[in-house]
Amino acid sequence: MIRFWNRRIKTGLLTENPEIDRELKVIQKEIKSLVSKKFAGSLAIRMVDSGSCNACEAECNALSNPYYDLERLGIYFVASPRHADVMLLSGLMTFNMVPHVLDAFKQMPAPKWVITLGACPAMEAPFEQTFAIKAPAEAHLSIAHHIPGCPPTPKEIIEGLLVFLRKM
């Protein structure tokens, strides 16, 4: 284990925001103060996949890797809708998932918001309407913000969350 820590210390901090670094520095304070003002210091997100290809989930997982480290901004992915302020919703709202998505939303304490993630929930992906698809999500829930992309990159997701916070 000591070898790992030696390497870890030599590597130093990796966390970066390649192209939005400067912009982020400027608004980092703003996010932190927005999160602190509007969400008591931490914005809790419940990610729900309603029938995606799993790329959106992979990019959300990437938000926790050392390059992005989303939690330092006070934004957390939580395990239960009952802990969440925001539902981050990906996927095509499949026939089989819609009842569960609505259940999860019902479990969230108010005030609560839904942010749609990626092309699918807005029915903008190449998938065509079938009997098994009930997208767009806005037919079922009121959507506070949409983060486009197929899938949106981690950077685009961070930017999208910033826009949402400013809108609030």
Q: Confirm if 30 and 23 have CB atoms less than 8 A apart.
A: no
CB of 106 to another protein, least distance (A): 12
Q: How far is the CB of 30 from another protein (least distance, A)?
A: 26
Binding to another protein by residue 21, rule CB under 8 A? no
- Alpha-helical segments (H) within the chain: 2-11, 21-39, 55-62, 98-107, 154-167
Residues 66-85: x where in contact with another protein by CB under 8 A, - otherwise, as a string:
xx---------x-xxx----
By C-beta, is 34 or 94 nearer to another protein? 94
Q: Is 47 helix (H, G, I), strand (E, B) or coil?
A: strand
Nearest one of 57, 114, 45 to 81, comparing CA atoms: 45
Residue 25, φ and ψ in degrees, nearest 5: -60, -40
CB nearer to another protein: pick between 35 and 84 = 84
What secondary structure letter does DSSP report for 123?
Answer: T
CB of 73 to another protein, least distance (A): 17
Write out the residues near another protein by the rule CB under 8 A. 1, 3-4, 7, 14, 47-62, 64-67, 77, 79-81, 91-92, 94-97, 99-100, 104, 125-134, 150-151, 153
